[in-house]
Amino acid sequence: MFSFKMLLCALTLTLLAVTVEPSTGGGGTPNHNYELSGSELTRLYNSPVYKAERMKRPLDGTSVVLGPISHSGVSVSLRVTLADGSQWLIHKGGNYGISSQTVVVRATHMSSDWRVVATRDFQGTKKVADFVADGGSDYSFIFDNCHLGSRRMMNQ
Convert the pLDDT of each residue in 34-52 to its tens digit: 578 889 989 999 999 999 9
pLDDT given at position 60: 64
Which domain does 135 fall in, by range? Answer: 32-155
Whether 20 is in a domain gets the answer: no
pLDDT given at position 50: 96
- Least Cα distance to 91 among 56, 140, 49, 50 occurs for 56
- Least Cα distance to 51 among 107, 101, 97 occurs for 107
Q: 3-class SS at 63?
A: coil
Write out the H or E segment, with its range, that includes residue 21.
none
Whether 11 is in a domain gets the answer: no
Number of domains in the chain: 1
Q: What is the identity of the amino acid at 134? A: D
Whether 91 is in a domain gets the answer: yes
pLDDT tens column, 120-152: 999 999 999 999 999 999 988 889 888 899 999
Whether 5 is in a domain gets the answer: no
- Least Cα distance to 131 among 51, 67, 23 occurs for 51
Whether 13 is in a domain gets the answer: no
pLDDT given at position 65: 61
pLDDT given at position 119: 96
Whether 14 is in a domain gets the answer: no
Residues whose CB is less than 8 angstroms from the CB of residue 48 and which lie 6 or more positions away in sequence, other chains included: 82, 83, 122, 124, 125, 126, 127
